[in-house]
Structure 1
């Protein structure tokens, strides 16, 4: 089954996103106006998309006001030179193969693909390759080709929705560094093993990335293995997921918190352990006190937090996707307003304090001429 076309693949002449499916705007649960702003000035602490409490039914809009993002260290002169070289190369790409198969046809780079090529995106690949410029260049291109081939831009809420009817993956809350928390609940598995299960995870990763606040580049994975011993994925699926995460989402995993690990699941982890890179292993924590890592007011009760959450698919799924799509539109509109720059600042795109790199270039030129 081919996935439908992605929302942001259609734009009008001004660069604004066109919703290709009017039916996605119909609502049985009108969202409150809090969702129209990502500013903490207008949003109460621990507010949800629909204002629900005890239990909450929809995602939290923002992190705790006391969250402290962890910015990467400043670039050295050599690192800046390598970044500049990768940026120059990326700007020059006009066409790429449509698949990884030998002698595949090529097609022009689209605006959504250029939009994906942010400054932080390029830096993530450079860091992941330990600042090997040739490897980083090849990996960025390979990810762009993979995104085309795998159909990432085509996964929609309607296509993926049946996979999440039981709430086996839920984005809810943020950790102490403002990373959005993505909960994986193997015990709620509702479908047979298939490629669509992997597509579901990719979709949730993409949506979770969309809602990251300014200054945050990665997410927190929380997985409760209790009563899930018979639900774990196959070793083949585990290897495929690790390959996708490590190859095409470098530096996106801030931490992985695994809770209630039974001995059977330890066996599964031992089987896939050789395929986990050292950096990913360092980020994996087992049976930690999660209240130290996620504010209790944004942590589910089953993980030691204070949040009473009830997953009702028709309510949560609509609210979560509307929030992610709105933030996607806002980022797109800022990208267009900034000049559609390859290498744009993610902080600027997410509504942070940094200016567009286009504005920085104009200001820099003005300083030189003065």
Structure 2
């Protein structure tokens, strides 16, 4: 029977992303902070709450007041990820968070559109599909499906998809899983990427996505790929390096009903069809961002909000606000406000605004 969890037993291949992990796939409980860690978090929270502007040293024209979208990004869990990544150094965490905020502006991360990146996605070389046994979203990378030459847009495509994986994270989940199949194709025998590009990607991941990478599972890793990975491993920190697993039993990590059957030992019958998958994924992710933004605004729009609350896993904000709106679905007004905050006002919202004007 087809569901949001799997398509086990279906003869027709699934063509859209799974929307949730299996019911028994859950993240480990978050460890409780020590008194010292809680004190450092509160100090960092106070610091981040006071930031009036974002300074972009590499593109001064993009410097300016901090936006609601950026304040919403500064969740409790976000601040804690940077604290852990800097071994609980408040000063280092401040520097890295501010550097990430500047990079996101300079890179135009929130301005990337599905239409602009669609040519990169046409062959399904990157697919967000299913969740592992800890509820972490899985992204399949298939270098053999590469359809474009190395370019800045290729890297933009990768980080756009990482952001969509974050959209797809269920409550309580903070990291993701990359599933890389190095099998060559008739169209693409060389499944490596330039070392310079790999180095840039690793640098950006380690600098601006601390503790987001949960695991990297790789199959069909022939000796050329192993040599390539050995070269780029010198650019990885030890923690990142330990997350790479070669030709491991992926079924130990991902429920077989959510594990793709294409080269992987799973039972999920999936077929990539760009005109179906791409709009459906972006629609789902946009709706999740709308809901998160609406919940953030409803609770007062504070820095340090809980990601559990924003994702709908809890109805009580860190401010004590109780979110309860008809099965916890944001109203049209709340969605409109959320879209406005995100800068993603669609036709529906514009129509609602026109209706309000003429009422």
Q: Normalising by the residue count of structure 1, what TM-score does the alignment of the two structures yield?
A: 0.82
Question: What per-residue deviation string (whole Å, max 9, x for no partner) do you get for residues 205-254 of structure 1?
Answer: 00110010000001010000112651311000000010111000000011
**Residue 77 of structure 1 aligns with which residue?**
35
CA contact (8 A) 2:177 2:217 kept: yes
Distance 1:360 1:100 in 2: 39
Go from structure 1 to structure 2 and tell me whether the alpha carbon gap of 1:214 and 1:191 turns closer, same or farther (over 3 Å shift): same
Distance 1:53 1:147 in 2: 43
Considering only aligned residues, what root-mean-square deviation do their CA atoms show, in Å? 2.0
Distance 1:333 1:353 in 2: 14
- Is it true that 1:313 corresponds to 2:274 in the alignment? yes
- Pairing 1:79-94 to 2, within 5 Å after superposition: 79-94=37-52
**Residue 335 of structure 2 aligns with which residue?**
none
Among 261, 267, 276, the residue aligned to 2:236: 276
CA contact (8 A) 1:99 1:149 kept: no
**Residue 259 of structure 1 aligns with which residue?**
219
- Pairing 1:212-223 to 2, within 5 Å after superposition: 212-223=169-180
Among 329, 342, 345, the residue aligned to 2:306: 345
- Pairing 1:199-348 to 2, within 5 Å after superposition: 199-227=156-184, 230-301=190-261, 302-348=263-309
Question: How far apart are residue 47 of structure 1 and its match?
Answer: 6.0
Distance 1:44 1:208 in 2: 16
Question: What per-residue deviation string (whole Å, max 9, x for no partner) do you get for residues 118-149 of structure 1?
Answer: 00000000011111111011000000000000
Question: What per-residue deviation string (whole Å, max 9, x for no partner) do you get for residues 346-365 of structure 1?
Answer: 0000001262011179xxxx
CA contact (8 A) 1:229 1:265 kept: no
Question: How far apart are residue 100 of structure 1 and its match?
Answer: 3.1
Distance 2:212 2:20 in 1: 19
CA contact (8 A) 1:345 1:354 kept: no
Distance 1:131 1:104 in 2: 32
Distance 1:192 1:81 in 2: 49
Go from structure 1 to structure 2 and tell me whether the alpha carbon gap of 1:200 and 1:307 turns closer, same or farther (over 3 Å shift): same
**Residue 138 of structure 1 aligns with which residue?**
95
Go from structure 1 to structure 2 and tell me whether the alpha carbon gap of 1:283 and 1:105 turns closer, same or farther (over 3 Å shift): closer
**Residue 156 of structure 1 aligns with which residue?**
113
The answer for unaligned runs of 5 or more in structure 1 is 1-33, 35-42, 362-370
- Is it true that 1:173 corresponds to 2:130 in the alignment? yes
Q: Normalising by the residue count of structure 2, what TM-score does the alignment of the two structures yield?
A: 0.85
Question: How far apart are residue 271 of structure 1 and its match?
Answer: 1.1
Question: How far apart are residue 162 of structure 1 and its match?
Answer: 0.8
Aligned length: 317
SS in 2 for 1:357: coil
CA contact (8 A) 1:97 1:106 kept: yes
**Residue 82 of structure 2 aligns with which residue?**
125
**Residue 150 of structure 2 aligns with which residue?**
193
